[in-house]
């Protein structure tokens, strides 16, 4: 039996998700596909069906050929119905994944805690959801995969991890960290990866698909080099404060070293952590690495980290780690609120530049908290 305060919290949290979805849908109906990335996806489907090239450089289509098949059902629907349903898919995945986790973490007052997680995570998701960016679908895949990893349901967990690659190639670090933390997933993830890569061959000629994969590889390599005149919200956003920037081999070296360190940490968590710790650690480490060390992340891309921040804050709170909980809540609040203050006081352009260093800086703080927890709690059990 829910208490009155639980009922109120439930009503508020569900209202926030519904209001956000209705607002996003209303913007689509009123403004069409303005401020939307889905025209890129529509064009990719049209090019595929016509047997034309998919890739035109980093500013355009930067996804695996299998993404085209993923988006085709939405392309076939009338506008804006298909685009609204595309966004609904991400809304539903994020809502269900977060709600499932909160029900696990907060058995005594799940509705109030789900409201807390909603307040921490949803604001950072709004821009990506409004724009129809597949980063939101990828974020939903990561949350759902983490949920199934906790439950020990390896086949659906592998499905969501592999689907995250379809949503965006940025899902690859999640696959690598999952292999280190849950080595027994190797054959499921291998089979899933083979299906992801092989799917396009069922919809076009072998020569055309093979050429698209070659073009994809060249396009992803080009994405590693920042587009002329553009800067992004990754590790370089912080380094630019000190007059530095990584590119070329130094950037690749930083990605490899960071990936290796996080992979080792993931392996040790897999050996020592309980099922909940492993799932949450995988979600947090994956989101942090993607945000800091993969190319062309914008402020909207942090939808991929927002669920981890909300769930980690709640987990720390329920475990009695009040300082860590306060720190993660503070990080999330600072990411949600400070850019809005900057926008109101100095304009949207200044706020965009602010986000490019502020978001990765906050992500570094969050990653430091995760690493501290791993070293202090998880690895200490080796001597327990």
Q: Is 61 left (phi over 0), alpha (psi -120 to 50) or beta?
A: beta
Per-residue pLDDT at 380: 67
H or E, element range at 116: helix 110-131
Q: In sequence order, what are the residues at sequence separation of 6 or more whose Cβ sits closer than 8 angstroms to the Cβ of residue 338?
A: 354, 358
Beta strands in 48-195 (DSSP E): none
In this prediction the pTM is: 0.95
| pLDDT computed for residue 287 by the predictor | 97
Picking from 85, 55, 83, 81, the residue whose alpha carbon sits closest to that of residue 216 is 55
How many angstroms separate the Cα of 41 from the Cα of each of 44, 72, 123, 276, 299? 5, 9, 25, 36, 20
Question: Which of 234, 206, 374, 368 lies closest to 304, judged by CA?
Answer: 234
> Are residues 133 and 84 in contact, defined by beta-carbon separation less than 8 angstroms?
no
Return the biggest CA–CA distance within the chain. Answer: 63
Residues 26 and 142: their CA atoms lie apart, in Å, by: 27
367: CB partners within 8 A, 6+ apart:
284, 285, 288, 292
Which positions ≥6 away from 138 have C-beta within 8 Å?
Answer: 164, 167, 168, 170, 171, 304
Query: Please, what is the end-to-end C-alpha distance for the chain in angstroms?
Result: 40
**pLDDT value at position 375?**
82
Determine the pLDDT at residue 140. 98
What is the rounded (10 degree) CA torsion for 285, 291, 292, 298?
-170
Alpha-carbon span 94 to 103, nearest angstrom: 14
Find all residues with CB under 8 Å of 173, minimum gap 6, and list them: 259, 286, 289, 290, 293, 294
> Phi/psi at 171 (nearest 5 deg)?
-70, -10
Among the listed residues 107, 149, 173, the one whose alpha carbon sits nearest the alpha carbon of residue 273: 149
Task: Tell me what pLDDT residue 182 has.
Answer: 96
Question: What pLDDT is recorded for position 202?
Answer: 96
Stretches where the chain sits below pLDDT 70 are 1, 226-229, 378-384
The candidate with the shortest Cα–Cα distance to 91, out of 47, 56, 50, 140, is 140
The interaxial angle of helices 110-131 and 4-31, nearest 10 deg, is: 10
């Amino acid at each position: 039996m829910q208490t009155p305060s639980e009922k109120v919290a439930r009503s508020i949290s569900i209202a926030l998700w519904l209001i956000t979805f209705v607002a996003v849908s209303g913007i689509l109906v009123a403004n069409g596909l303005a401020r939307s990335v889905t025209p890129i996806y529509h064009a990719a489907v049209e090019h595929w069906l016509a047997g034309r090239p998919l890739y035109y450089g980093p500013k355009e289509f930067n996804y695996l050929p299998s993404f085209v098949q993923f988006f085709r059902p939405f392309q076939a629907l009338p506008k804006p119905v298909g685009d609204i349903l595309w966004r609904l898919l991400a809304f539903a995945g994020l809502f269900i994944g977060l709600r499932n986790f909160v029900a696990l973490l907060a058995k005594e007052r799940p509705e109030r805690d789900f409201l807390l997680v909603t307040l921490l995570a949803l604001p950072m998701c709004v821009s990506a959801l409004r724009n129809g960016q597949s980063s939101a679908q990828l974020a939903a895949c990561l949350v759902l995969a983490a949920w199934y990893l906790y439950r020990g349901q390896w086949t659906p967990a592998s499905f969501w991890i592999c689907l995250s690659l379809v949503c965006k190639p940025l899902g690859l670090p999640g696959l690598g960290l999952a292999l280190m933390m849950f080595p027994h997933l190797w054959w499921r993830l291998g089979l899933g990866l083979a299906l992801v890569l092989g799917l396009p061959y069922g919809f076009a000629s072998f020569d055309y698909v093979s050429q698209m994969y070659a073009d994809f590889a060249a396009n992803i390599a080009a994405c590693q080099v920042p587009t002329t005149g553009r800067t992004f919200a990754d590790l370089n956003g912080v380094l630019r404060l000190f007059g530095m920037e990584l590119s070329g081999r130094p950037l690749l070296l930083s990605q490899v070293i960071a990936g290796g360190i996080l992979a080792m940490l993931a392996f040790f968590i897999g050996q020592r952590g309980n099922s909940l710790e492993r799932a949450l650690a995988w979600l947090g480490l994956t989101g942090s690495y993607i945000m800091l060390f993969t190319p062309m992340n914008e402020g909207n891309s942090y939808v991929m980290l927002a669920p981890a921040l909300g769930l980690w804050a709640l987990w720390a709170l329920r475990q009695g780690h009040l300082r860590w909980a306060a720190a993660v809540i503070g990080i999330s609040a600072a990411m949600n609120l400070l850019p809005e203050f900057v926008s109101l006081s100095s304009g949207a352009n200044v706020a965009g530049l602010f986000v490019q260093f502020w978001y990765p800086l906050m992500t570094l703080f969050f990653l430091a908290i995760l690493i501290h927890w791993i070293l202090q709690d998880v690895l200490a059990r080796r001597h327990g």
